[in-house]
Amino acid sequence: MARNMALDTSNITKNEAVEIACNTLAAIREKSPLVLNFTNTVVQPITANLLLAIGASPAMLSDGSEAEDMLRICANALLINVGTLSRAQSEEMEKAVAAAAKNSVPWVLDPVAVGLLGLRTNFVKKILAAGTPPALVRGNASEILATAGYEAKTRGAESTCGSESAIEAGKQLARKTGGAVLVTGETDFVTDGDKIAALGNGDIMMTRVTGVGCAMGALSAACVAVAETPFAGGVASALIMGIAGNIAAERCRGSGSFAVELLDAMYNLSESDIHSRAIVRE
Amino acid sequence: MARNMALDTSNITKNEAVEIACNTLAAIREKSPLVLNFTNTVVQPITANLLLAIGASPAMLSDGSEAEDMLRICANALLINVGTLSRAQSEEMEKAVAAAAKNSVPWVLDPVAVGLLGLRTNFVKKILAAGTPPALVRGNASEILATAGYEAKTRGAESTCGSESAIEAGKQLARKTGGAVLVTGETDFVTDGDKIAALGNGDIMMTRVTGVGCAMGALSAACVAVAETPFAGGVASALIMGIAGNIAAERCRGSGSFAVELLDAMYNLSESDIHSRAIVRE
Amino acid sequence: MARNMALDTSNITKNEAVEIACNTLAAIREKSPLVLNFTNTVVQPITANLLLAIGASPAMLSDGSEAEDMLRICANALLINVGTLSRAQSEEMEKAVAAAAKNSVPWVLDPVAVGLLGLRTNFVKKILAAGTPPALVRGNASEILATAGYEAKTRGAESTCGSESAIEAGKQLARKTGGAVLVTGETDFVTDGDKIAALGNGDIMMTRVTGVGCAMGALSAACVAVAETPFAGGVASALIMGIAGNIAAERCRGSGSFAVELLDAMYNLSESDIHSRAIVRE
State which amino acid sits at residue B148: A
Measure Cα distances from C4 to A75, B126, C1, C159, C187 in Å: 33, 62, 5, 19, 11
pTM value > 0.80? yes
Question: What per-residue confidence (pLDDT) applies to C3?
Answer: 43
Give A187-220 pLDDT, tens digit per residue: 999 999 999 999 999 999 999 999 999 999 999 9
Give the one of C84, C155, C255 whose C-beta lies nearest to A49's C-beta. Answer: C255
Torsion of CA A27, A32, A37, A40, to 10 degrees: 90
Q: Contacts of residue A89 in chain C, CB cutoff 8 Å?
A: none
- Which of A143-152, B14-23, B242-251, C98-107 is predicted least confidently? A143-152
Give the one of C66, C92, C263 whose C-beta lies nearest to B254's C-beta. Answer: C263
d(CA B199, CA B190): 8
User: Edge to edge, what strands does the sheet with C57-60 contain?
Assistant: C57-60, C34-38, C77-81, C107-110, C136-140, C180-184, C188-191, C196-199
Q: Contacts of residue B48 in chain A, CB cutoff 8 Å?
A: 42, 210-211
Q: What's the mean per-residue pLDDT of chain B?
A: 94
- C208 → chain A, closest CA residue: A52
Interface partners of B (3+ CB pairs, < 8 Å)?
A, C
Interface partners of C (3+ CB pairs, < 8 Å)?
A, B
Does the distance separating the beta carbons of A158 and B49 come in below 8 Å? no
pLDDT higher than threshold 70 for residue B126: yes
Does the distance separating the beta carbons of B46 and C44 come in below 8 Å? no
pLDDT higher than threshold 70 for residue A226: yes
State which amino acid sits at residue B144: I
* Complex confidence, ipTM: 0.95
Give the one of B84, B118, B210 whose C-beta lies nearest to C65's C-beta. Answer: B118
**Mutation target vs C (from A74, A84, A205, A255; most C CBs, 10 A cutoff):** A74
**Mutation target vs B (from A82, A112, A155; most B CBs, 10 A cutoff):** A155
Average pLDDT on C195-222 reads 98
Q: Contacts of residue B252 in chain C, CB cutoff 8 Å?
A: 264
Torsion of CA B178, B39, B24, B206, to 10 degrees: -110
Does the distance separating the beta carbons of A210 and B267 come in below 8 Å? no
Does the distance separating the beta carbons of B118 and C69 come in below 8 Å? yes
Does the distance separating the beta carbons of B89 and C66 come in below 8 Å? no
**Mutation target vs B (from A90, A92, A117; most B CBs, 10 A cutoff):** A117
Are the CB atoms for C10 and C198 separated by under 8 Å?
A: yes
CB atoms within 10 A of CB B159: 25
The whole-angstrom distance between C140's CA and the closest CA on chain B is: 25
- C41 → chain B, closest CA residue: B41
Q: What's the mean per-residue pLDDT of chain C?
A: 94
Question: What per-residue confidence (pLDDT) applies to B31?
Answer: 98
pLDDT higher than threshold 70 for residue A90: yes
**Mutation target vs A (from C43, C60, C62, C86; most A CBs, 10 A cutoff):** C86
Contacts 24+ apart (CB under 8 A), B9-15: B9/B167, B9/B196, B9/B198, B10/B196, B10/B197, B10/B198, B10/B280, B10/B281, B10/B282, B11/B194, B11/B195, B11/B196, B11/B197, B12/B195, B12/B197, B12/B235, B12/B280, B13/B280, B13/B282, B14/B278, B14/B280, B14/B282
Average pLDDT on B35-47 reads 97
Give C119-141 pLDDT, tens digit per residue: 999 999 999 998 899 999 999 99
CB atoms within 10 A of CB B179: 26
Does the distance separating the beta carbons of C262 and B156 come in below 8 Å? no
State which amino acid sits at residue C207: T
